């Protein structure tokens, strides 16, 4: 009877534990992060009895959480991926809206300027058309400036958010380390049994941490867990946590660097909101700013070059239409010399959209493409008269550099914000071609004017009158002097211009080239300005401004579309993973209700065993007394 009573009592205690555990599962059905718990039963050591062994009852082996380690791992990585894509998609969508807006976007602003130039070509003497071109140029400058400002603001938002995110990461890692300490102590006091509810709380912290940065975990025998970044830096080791840091870069460019134990790890950050913020700068905002800056550089170079070849209403050659763009070399905070670097765009078609590092080794300067790490060949000596030249840039050094000094060049990053008009007087718009050609009245050959182009607008004699008289079909004189060979179809070049004829001249034929003069109704230069959008300006002269605008909008749009699709796909994957995790670890009320009924019946049966043992014992006592 004693053994029967003991068996019944062991079953009663074990079943009570199971009832408590099931009740706790039901109570926490809506608790975020709660993991369903289960009781494992272990048969107690049997006793030898005659021809065999008799069982002695049941014990509770453990009360443990029901989890799947692989699903949990996928849940962490999936959460990191989703949060990264959500940040990236949000900013990509904003940049896409900014650049493609039908009213203020890149293409609209550029075509508005070109349309105004075309209107001027149709009405070259009207002040209203000249004012229209200046107004369109002002609108173009404002649009580029607005987009620059918006992109700069987004970059500032990202850096501010990154700083805040790092603070949150450090807060979670400190909490996880503290929770490790609590769990280790609780597990030791319980003889090695895990404190399940504390484990749930810690897992919830790790899950929230994974939304901020990609992480991996390694469980330890004492109940603690080590947490690492996706690229291997330890954030939590047992009861100790290591903070990430944030600092500005050495060139004070406005960028920030993520640090670990004093070392910069920005390029190694992946996953989570922090990874999304880092990728937003690298993949969305910086390419957009550089692309916009390249367009501004190409526009200024092309328009100014063409405008200089025209004649304004005052009979003077056109000056700068847009103000020149400049690039500042940002010095390293650790520079010890007195040198400074100034740069300007030399050839917009050679720009790469990348940043560069300039270094001085004590005797020579070197240039490195910061994006690719490749060395960039330099020409020139770095003086004002002989500047260094590379990748579309011209830069000079003033002051005395010291060995180890370095500078950061961001050639196109801020150029769009610099775009501004250099003229305000509509009379200074050079709409006319500077030169006109008069054909001699007595010409008897078949030669006619095919083209008159300006080769060097800076030639001091460009507007001087020139008379060309043919002394034979193959020779001509300039202003009645000399004898110059002529080949049919070949240009005649004088004073910075070239005249091309079609047909065959004969002896005595004459052509006179002279300045168009003030108030000219010629529209040649206005037509050339209107055609600038179609000509090769960027990418080594292979890409027009209009195509560059379309390409920029397309790149940003493609990035926005891809990230949006990836976000939707990741959301679906994450939902499936969560459902799988819940099917394993979540509380199912139907299942728990069935367990509750099962353990209730087991409890009642165990109580009946005890009752039977008591009745047998009472029967035995009665028999002995009788």
Q: How far apart are CA 331 and CA 488, in angstroms?
A: 57
Q: Cβ atoms within 10 A of the Cβ of 493, count? A: 13
pLDDT digits (tens, 9 = 90+) for 154-184: 999 999 999 999 999 999 999 999 999 999 9
The whole-angstrom separation of Cα 536 and Cα 524 is: 19
What pLDDT, on a 0 to 100 scale, did the predictor assign at position 244? 95
Gap between the Cα atoms of 487 and 473, Å rounded: 9
CB 209 within 8 A of CB 222: no
Give kind and range of the element (H or E) at residue 63: strand 58-65
How far apart are the C-alpha atoms of 381 and 90, rounded to whole Å? Answer: 46
What local confidence, expressed as pLDDT, does residue 102 receive?
Answer: 85
Q: How far apart are CA 233 and CA 88, in angstroms?
A: 23
Beta bridge partners of 452: 499
| Helix/strand/coil for 52 | strand
Helices (H) and strands (E) in the chain, counts: 10, 30
Alpha carbon distances (Å) from 450 to 164, 412, 438, 447, 453 = 67, 39, 13, 9, 10
**Distance in angstroms between the alpha carbons of the first and the last residue of the chain:** 19
Q: In the chain, which residues have pLDDT < 70?
A: 1-2, 626
**Cα 130 from chain centroid (whole Å):** 40
Using CA atoms, how far apart are residues 281 and 540, in angstroms rounded to an integer? 27
Cβ(461)–Cβ(513) below 8 Å: no
Q: Taking Cα atoms as reference points, which of 505, 345, 365, 477 lies closest to residue 418?
A: 345
**In the 8-state DSSP scheme, what is residue 432?**
B
The answer to whether 421 and 322 have CB atoms below 8 angstroms apart is: yes
- CA of residue 443 relative to chain centroid, distance: 66
pLDDT for 204 equals 95
Measured distance CA(396)–CA(380) in Å, rounded: 9
Calpha distance 511→469 (Å, rounded): 7
Give CA–CA dist 403/359, Å, rounded. 8
Compute the distance between CA of residue 469 and CA of residue 507 in angstroms, rounded to an integer.
8
The 10s digit of each residue's pLDDT in 320-349 is: 999 999 888 899 999 999 999 999 898 888
Phi first, then psi: give them for residue 63, nearest 5 degrees.
-115, 110
200 alpha carbon, distance to own chain's centre: 36
What is residue 622's predicted lDDT score, i.e. its pLDDT?
81
Closest C-alpha to 288, from 161, 413, 419: 413
| C-alpha–C-alpha distance, residues 4 and 57, integer Å | 9
């Amino acid at each position: 009877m004693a053994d029967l009573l003991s068996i019944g009592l062991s079953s009663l205690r074990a079943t009570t534990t199971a009832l408590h555990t099931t009740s706790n599962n039901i109570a926490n059905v809506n608790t975020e992060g709660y993991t369903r718990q289960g009781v494992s039963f272990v048969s107690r050591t049997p006793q030898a009895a005659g021809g065999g062994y008799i069982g002695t009852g049941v014990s509770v082996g453990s009360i443990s959480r029901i989890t799947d380690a692989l699903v949990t791992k996928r849940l962490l990585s999936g959460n990191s991926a989703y949060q990264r894509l959500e940040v990236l998609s949000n900013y990509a969508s904003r940049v896409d809206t900014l650049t493609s807006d039908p009213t203020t976007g890149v293409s609209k602003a550029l075509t508005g300027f070109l349309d105004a130039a075309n209107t001027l070509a149709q009405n070259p003497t009207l002040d209203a058309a000249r004012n229209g071109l200046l107004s369109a140029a002002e609108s173009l400058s404002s649009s580029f400036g607005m987009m620059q400002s918006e992109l700069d603001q987004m970059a500032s938002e990202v850096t501010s958010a990154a700083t805040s995110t790092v603070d949150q990461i450090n807060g979670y890692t400190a909490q996880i380390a503290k929770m490790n300490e609590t769990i280790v102590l609780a597990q030791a006091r319980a003889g090695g049994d895990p404190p399940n509810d504390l484990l749930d709380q810690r897992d919830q912290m790790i899950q929230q941490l994974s939304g901020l940065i990609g992480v991996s975990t390694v469980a330890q025998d004492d109940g603690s867990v080590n947490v690492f970044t996706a690229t291997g830096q330890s954030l939590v080791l047992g009861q100790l946590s290591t903070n990430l840091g944030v600092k500005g870069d050495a060139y004070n460019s406005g960028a920030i660097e993520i640090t670990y134990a004093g070392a910069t790890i920005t390029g190694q950050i992946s996953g989570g909101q922090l990874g999304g913020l880092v990728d937003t700068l690298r993949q969305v905002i910086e390419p957009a700013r550089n692309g916009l800056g390249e367009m501004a550089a190409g526009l200024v170079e092309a328009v100014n070059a063409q405008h200089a070849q025209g004649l304004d209403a005052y009979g003077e050659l056109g000056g700068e239409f847009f103000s020149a763009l400049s690039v500042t070399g940002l010095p390293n905070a650790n520079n010890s010399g007195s040198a400074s670097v100034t740069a300007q765009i030399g050839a917009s078609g050679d720009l790469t959209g990348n940043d560069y590092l300039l270094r001085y080794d004590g005797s020579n300067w070197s240039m490195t493409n910061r994006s690719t790490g490749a060395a960039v060949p330099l020409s020139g000596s770095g003086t004002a008269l002989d500047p260094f030249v590379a990748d579309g840039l011209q830069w000079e050094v003033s002051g005395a550099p010291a060995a180890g000094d370095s500078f950061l060049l961001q050639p196109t990053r801020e150029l769009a914000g610099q775009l501004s008009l250099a003229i305000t007087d509509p009379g200074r718009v050079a709409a006319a071609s500077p030169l006109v050609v008069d054909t001699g009245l007595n010409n008897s050959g078949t030669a006619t004017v095919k083209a008159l182009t300006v080769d060097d607008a800076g030639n001091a004699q460009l507007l001087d009158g020139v008379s060309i008289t043919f002394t034979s079909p193959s020779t001509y004189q300039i202003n009645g002097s000399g004898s110059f060979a002529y080949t049919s179809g070949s240009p005649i070049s004088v004073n910075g211009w070239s005249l091309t004829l079609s047909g065959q001249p004969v002896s005595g034929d004459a052509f006179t080239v002279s300045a168009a003069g003030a108030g000219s109704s010629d529209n040649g230069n206005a037509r050339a300005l209107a055609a600038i959008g179609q000509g090769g300006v960027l990418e080594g002269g292979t890409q027009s401004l209009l195509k560059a605008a379309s390409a920029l909008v397309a790149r940003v749009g493609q990035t926005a579309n891809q990230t949006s699709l990836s976000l939707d796909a990741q959301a679906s994957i994450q939902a499936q993973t969560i459902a799988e995790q819940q099917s394993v670890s979540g509380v199912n009320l139907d299942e728990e209700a069935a367990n509750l009924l099962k353990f209730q019946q087991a409890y009642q049966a165990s109580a009946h065993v005890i009752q039977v043992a008591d009745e047998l014992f009472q029967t035995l006592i009665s028999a002995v007394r009788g």
